[in-house]
Structure 1
Amino acid sequence: MIVQCTNCGTKFNFDEAMIEGDGVWGRCSRCQNVFFMKNPVKEEATSSLDEKKAAEAGPSATGSAMTKDVEDKHLDVKKPGPDFFKEIEKDIEDIDKDKATGFEKAEDDEIHDEEGIVEEEIERKHGLTLGRQLIYLFIILLIGGIYFLFFTETNGQLLFEKLLGTGQKIEEVGPSQVDLIGLRQRLINNLIIGNIRVIEGTAINQSTLPMTRIKVKGEITDAYTVVLGVRESYCGNILTNDELVTMTEEQIQRELSNPLGSDVSNDRIEPQGQIPFMIVFTREPPVVVKAFVTPVGAERLLP
């Protein structure tokens, strides 16, 4: 049943089964106007009865009956109290709430509300799309991290060993694991540059891992330990006496700078392995008193 507010003209959809007696009072949800809604069923029955009586009694009786009926109806219709509206308002719902009964909006209001609903749904879809993207990205990263940490044998093993503290500690390989033995020095008269100082010895790998490219440094000082000269050489490069006598200074230093060793391989020195070395000083001052040799380089040989 469609009813219309007598004040603002708003139309509403109301369940006529809720109307008892001659009618009920309703309140417009828009302008709060209170108006009376007649019971269509009783109104039709009363109209039929009045027509029948009028036909039997004639014109005068009909007028008298109609007047009495109007007066009776006026007496029967009472203005409702506040409690009545509370019950009615529970049953009358705005059509925006998608109920079967309730107020029905005008066409302009419906169009405006539909546009608002469409905009709200579009914004909601955009929000869900962004949220889903973030969720999917998090899931992918989580799965990748779990696979990398737990399903790759090497990484998983290292992770658990690190967490439990049961993993084997990786030994550092460097010059500190190199010992020098058999140090000796001599002076040789080179035909080109004059006297040269030759220091020789042997390097030993004291680590538990293979080494490569062991390097030593020699220093010459005066009586007050003032450094007068520094030379570095890779192990495994040894010159003969003939070479020391006839080679130029550049040739000597070039031969002693081969990282892999020209006479003995400096590529792989096993644990406790030994390799000889040679350091040559040229054009040294006459006040040289002491000479020192220290290891300055050693690398772990990768498997």
Structure 2
Amino acid sequence: MIIQCRQCRTKFRFDDNLMHGTGVWLRCSRCGHVYFQENALMKPEKDLPSEPVKSAEESKSAKKGDDLSMESQHFVYRDANGVHSLDKAMRTKKELDEEINLDIEKRPEESISIKNEEVKPREVLSSTSSGKNWKLAVGSIFVILIISAAIFFVFPQSGEQIINNVLVYIGLSEPTRPEIAVPQMVRLQDVRHRVVNNYILGPIGVVEGTAVNRAEYPISRILIKGDILDAYSVVLGEHTSYAGNIMTDEELTNLSEEEILLKLSRQEGLNNSNDKIMPNGQIPFMVVFTHEPAGVIKSTVVTVGAERLLSE
């Protein structure tokens, strides 16, 4: 037979063998509605009470396009007590679900309020701690400045350096960039080594070249040191001389050792050429080895001294 749910109007195919007596209690598998289905196969009797049947207008209002399920999906109940117990269990389960949902909704609010209460003391502690740290930093800087001032009056040179370091440490001044040493600003080029036969001393070594001022300021008194080495880079001799002191081949051939060293030791150079070398300026130099031993293979020169001029 074809039965229809009283609530959602869904139609099902019901097995006739499951129908007993005046009817059975059914529960719709789609909407869960429980209702009493009368036995349409049984002839109506006057003595048997029947479930009030809904009007024909309600049954006709169902849509004609509803699909019929091939199998019955209803639960059959033999008595009304089972139906009442089922309804009671379903209501109890629904109430429990509502209580659980309410509990879940309340708990996040409680946790948020607890977190907010915990954050407030932390904010107060952080503000107080930051104020204490600021006062401590100011006090320590003040103490350091007092100590530095006392050291400055007792030891002016070291005290000035300490004050500068303190100012750099607290960020009031930038650290001074280390200046490049003046001798490192001198480039030596066109270096050559030759041997001259002196009538008094015999063979003497002569190393000569040109010094260039690479600094942005004028310099003076450039001092050059020359070394002569053997095949194993062992230093066989060394000598220093100031730039600007140049001798002719005639002087190198005829002068004595004392006269040669005297001419090369003039700080101002020949014609005061070593007094002031402008930026990118050039000045010749000469280093003489009055007693050059045998086995000399190479020679090296390096700038070992120079002075910066304060005024141009």
Common fold: TM-score over 0.5? no
TM-score (norm 2): 0.44
TM-score (norm 1): 0.45
